Structure 1
């Protein structure tokens, strides 16, 4: 084991030993696709619930993700700009993103990576982050991990949430949501709006790049019978972003991208055998359109791109006996992409995949859970892929202490752009990875204190990259990644909450050639955060966050170094009464000048204030 090779400087970022909080949530869904106690899975999972998102006053989902272990972020300009998430040093294309359980990764983008720039927190009730491969349940792209964003769930009583915020760069954010139940119906529906004048995306520009976003969410469950329900979900996002392209005329260019995302889900849930046999049949559609316009002719910023995913699923969980659960399913997915530049005829690509998986969960003795599974995917354009995985979780004291061990395989199938002509290579193999984790989590002081540490190691093979020798995508890259996630959460009083994390990530290029031994781009070796929240005796709620990132590199050759940085944020909230709360925050308090991606701007000191209500 390589735990002792890391220099002491890895912990010198903090004056004390700093760990990362594992969310104190009992139930998770990303481990098996069904609700499951978190202490029954060996996989590392963190949860951001509605209360935590409000406490952090996060505008975007990535603002909240920055406070979690194992997460690195790269944003290319102001809010709304292209934003990438790297889990445990994996590529952004190796993170599977779900909204209300439906995959939203863009099949029309070159590597199907999800752009987090448009994903705001309005009407989001929960974010669940699984770190490490879980392709057994989720299939392709779940190498680095899985992020499941859930809109506000239906409630028993009628609940109305609403909010409005104004701040730096003439930004305005509003959202509203109503949820409730009546008879056999349970529903939640809402909308959110955001606009901002922004800043110049590229450094040195004088022209601001603004952003506007309109989103809508809806969920409806119809309980037809005690053991049968229909489930409907929908999400819509329409954004317009002014951006700067390093391949255009520079920082004062005027390209605009209009992006639309839609997911729809129709499902039926039914239980058999006195509730021991859960079944879910569903159809989901993901529809993404991106249109770019640029006054400059013959520009790659003039594009018209469309992508769709049609997915049919049957998933089941059968408690064979109290100590044995079988999770299994079958899926069929059809993917389509259309890409056109400068008004040229569109390049069309299609493929389909049929999959089956099975996972056995054993509880041989009290506190011990053993999980193992297998999956096979059969692709129409390049054949089959079989994936294995398993994990162990053991708690000797009812969840106060949990020991975890995981072995997981992951894969990412070539995208339509990578694998089909005119740009793709039909001979590509899927990217694959083998990962193992060893972790310990412990709660003490009557559950007012939590600590944990996890060691992870992943070897990735046949990574897909564009070759300037063959001028097409090739399986040419190998990457070794290992590191440590450590964390603690402390509640010294009922009114104070302290959370901190530190992650050490070594993501090393092992591909033959000039970049052998180099670190992967845009992934800091050291990263950590500290948040403190205090409810004062005068009802005023105060909070502070410190985000610390070590040095990183902007390119594969490691010739462009990005200096590390520390950001401090302050926030406050005052509940006027049980229904109404005023809040405000100052971000980047010390006006730190920092760079996440070479050549792109970041925000200096900025302030926002708002009001939110719940009835």
Structure 2
């Protein structure tokens, strides 16, 4: 624990004589599945809202997540390339991703991980990131954490947003969204388009791997009465990405993947007993399809895969009184995957799972909230799984200081590829994890400053990996992941904000064999981010970002080292009218030569200019 003491001492020496931004008690949904104040959960949750996305000028959600402590992004190439999120040292398959509350992890991929490459920020209103397991509420895959991406929500009256930008590599972006409410109706509808010539995905290539992305989003809520409303949500993404792979012509290969993602939600909200009993009944649909073509025959790049999830759920939250809330739910899910390589007949797999959970939220005294829950899932291909979790949040001084503690269990069920023929192992067990957090947040100097620190420790067992001995997936891996997330928000003067965070993650292989004690691939031990933004008295806003990523390894034996690197960027925006704003940014200003994934390219210095309007 020497490193923990050293880091804590270093934090204590930070220059807190400056002022900082006060963190508001925001509303979150990932802790219980229903809205609740962030101060009432012991879980570590961060929020990146629309204003922050505009301030950072983030082009993709993956870029915005770089500012969140404990989150590491690995992209294999340029814009639109496969992008994986590792939360607190967990694998990308252990991160559950939701879009407007609907699961969108890719069942057609071998490990079910979500690819962040196609997720642009154009019409996204908010991203909620829960770090640590929460399978009690969300079930499978919520081991490392949960990322809930929400489209722009309806507003009172009418609001329109539009944007256009042009940048390096002939990159063009357009987006528009209209949101509003009238009487019993409230809704939001929008679309975005991205086109880029891109860069060669693999290092050493001379041809560019281009990218196209078309996205649409829509939400509609119909209020029948004070106690009954109907909710409709949809998200559609169609992307075409050229990529490189060692299976074919390498860095100058010509494979192209055409990807389609669809999410649909139809639900009814029924509030009874003067709103103390909230009921939500919903049907959701996730449909993902990927078609890849390559002029090189039998390169394993010619494939047609599809994954779909149909899900029915009934969730309930009952405020028995001011001190006690019960949350419960029942879910039924049917999943399907089809995989075909090089024109062969498709391999088809299916699975059904029935689930139930219950959670109690107790407020025994002012400032203290205790939460405990249990979940049970029954899969028709491998049986049942029971999960427990609990957390505590306590403030002795009306929110100026928050103490948080969490014990959480998570699991990941074998995917259809891992657990069913012809490639799968019918005897697989789910991956499981046990995690505890201890955290503190403190506001000082007239509630204008905030510091925070969280220690986490997770043990994962029965991790699924391919065995060269048996030729199929086996429960052969064990991993421990522990570390510290810490940071500070400062506001030295009005309209000048600094946000800094540091993360240490020790993600260590504890499996028997020659790789015992080795670090997990693509998990840097150290990482940090620093953003500073100032709005000048004459309207111009300027900002900068620094991201520092420590060294890591890209193989299980820790022989392929990726050196540490730092990226520095500048940005500026200037309002022309109350409704119109010009902005620009320069990324990797110092032209750092860095590698995120071994063998893959990364962006050099590049600039972007744009305009956005709001009415």
Deviation readout 1:501-559 (Å, 9 max, x if unpaired): 00000000000011100000001000000000000112100000000010000111100
Pair 1:576 & 2:601 matched? no
SS of 1:289 mapped into structure 2: strand
Pair 1:552 & 2:531 matched? no
Which residue is 1:421 aligned to? Answer: 421
Q: Extract unaligned runs of 5+ from structure 1.
A: none
Which residue is 2:307 aligned to? Answer: 307
How many Å apart are 1:459 and its aligned residue? 0.2
SS of 2:93 mapped into structure 1: helix
Paired residues of 1:21 and 1:452 also in contact (CA < 8 A): no
Deviation readout 1:182-215 (Å, 9 max, x if unpaired): 1110010000000100000000000000000000
Residues 231/527 of structure 1: CA separation in 2 closer, same or farther (3 Å cut): same
How many Å apart are 1:451 and its aligned residue? 0.3
SS of 1:136 mapped into structure 2: helix
Paired residues of 1:574 and 1:582 also in contact (CA < 8 A): yes
The correspondence of residues 348-427 of structure 1 with structure 2, limited to 5 A, is: 348-427=348-427
Pair 1:40 & 2:56 matched? no
How many Å apart are 1:23 and its aligned residue? 6.1
Instruction: Supply the distance in 2 between the matched residues of 1:337 and 1:61 (Cα, whole angstroms).
Output: 26
Which residue is 1:605 aligned to? Answer: 605
**TM-score of the two chains, using structure 1 as the length reference:** 0.98
Residues 82/602 of structure 1: CA separation in 2 closer, same or farther (3 Å cut): same
Instruction: Supply the distance in 1 between the matched residues of 2:130 and 2:21 (Cα, whole angstroms).
Output: 14
How many Å apart are 1:22 and its aligned residue? 10
Instruction: Supply the distance in 2 between the matched residues of 1:504 and 1:492 (Cα, whole angstroms).
Output: 27
Residues 412/23 of structure 1: CA separation in 2 closer, same or farther (3 Å cut): farther
Residues 418/74 of structure 1: CA separation in 2 closer, same or farther (3 Å cut): same
SS of 2:197 mapped into structure 1: strand
Deviation readout 1:572-605 (Å, 9 max, x if unpaired): 0001111000000000000000000000000000
Pair 1:175 & 2:185 matched? no
Q: Extract unaligned runs of 5+ from structure 2.
A: none
Deviation readout 1:411-453 (Å, 9 max, x if unpaired): 0000000000000001000000000000000112232210010
Instruction: Supply the distance in 2 between the matched residues of 1:7 and 1:24 (Cα, whole angstroms).
Output: 29
Paired residues of 1:22 and 1:487 also in contact (CA < 8 A): no
Residues 21/139 of structure 1: CA separation in 2 closer, same or farther (3 Å cut): farther
Deviation readout 1:386-414 (Å, 9 max, x if unpaired): 00000000011111110000000000000
SS of 1:62 mapped into structure 2: helix
Pair 1:85 & 2:85 matched? yes
Instruction: Supply the distance in 2 between the matched residues of 1:493 and 1:245 (Cα, whole angstroms).
Output: 50
> Across the two proteins, how many residue pairs are aligned to each other?
612
Pair 1:316 & 2:316 matched? yes
How many Å apart are 1:5 and its aligned residue? 3.9
Deviation readout 1:328-374 (Å, 9 max, x if unpaired): 00000000000000000000000010000000000000000000000
Which residue is 2:520 aligned to? Answer: 520
SS of 2:421 mapped into structure 1: coil
Paired residues of 2:331 and 2:356 also in contact (CA < 8 A): yes
Instruction: Supply the distance in 1 between the matched residues of 2:144 and 2:436 (Cα, whole angstroms).
Output: 12
Instruction: Supply the distance in 2 between the matched residues of 1:244 and 1:8 (Cα, whole angstroms).
Output: 43
Pair 1:529 & 2:503 matched? no
Instruction: Supply the distance in 2 between the matched residues of 1:15 and 1:297 (Cα, whole angstroms).
Output: 61
Residues 203/134 of structure 1: CA separation in 2 closer, same or farther (3 Å cut): same
Which residue is 2:566 aligned to? Answer: 566
Paired residues of 1:88 and 1:144 also in contact (CA < 8 A): yes
Pair 1:449 & 2:449 matched? yes
Instruction: Supply the distance in 1 between the matched residues of 2:545 and 2:3 (Cα, whole angstroms).
Output: 30
How many Å apart are 1:247 and its aligned residue? 2.1
Instruction: Supply the distance in 2 between the matched residues of 1:291 and 1:13 (Cα, whole angstroms).
Output: 49
Paired residues of 2:22 and 2:448 also in contact (CA < 8 A): no
SS of 2:491 mapped into structure 1: strand
Residues 22/528 of structure 1: CA separation in 2 closer, same or farther (3 Å cut): farther
How many Å apart are 1:296 and its aligned residue? 0.1
Residues 282/522 of structure 1: CA separation in 2 closer, same or farther (3 Å cut): same
Paired residues of 1:376 and 1:385 also in contact (CA < 8 A): yes
Instruction: Supply the distance in 1 between the matched residues of 2:440 and 2:108 (Cα, whole angstroms).
Output: 40
Residues 485/610 of structure 1: CA separation in 2 closer, same or farther (3 Å cut): same
Pair 1:340 & 2:312 matched? no
Pair 1:101 & 2:101 matched? yes
Deviation readout 1:159-184 (Å, 9 max, x if unpaired): 11000000000000010000111111
How many Å apart are 1:9 and its aligned residue? 8.7
Residues 313/9 of structure 1: CA separation in 2 closer, same or farther (3 Å cut): closer
SS of 2:364 mapped into structure 1: coil
The correspondence of residues 227-266 of structure 1 with structure 2, limited to 5 A, is: 227-266=227-266
Deviation readout 1:224-245 (Å, 9 max, x if unpaired): 1111100000000000000001
Instruction: Supply the distance in 2 between the matched residues of 1:83 and 1:58 (Cα, whole angstroms).
Output: 15
Residues 303/310 of structure 1: CA separation in 2 closer, same or farther (3 Å cut): same
How many Å apart are 1:27 and its aligned residue? 0.7
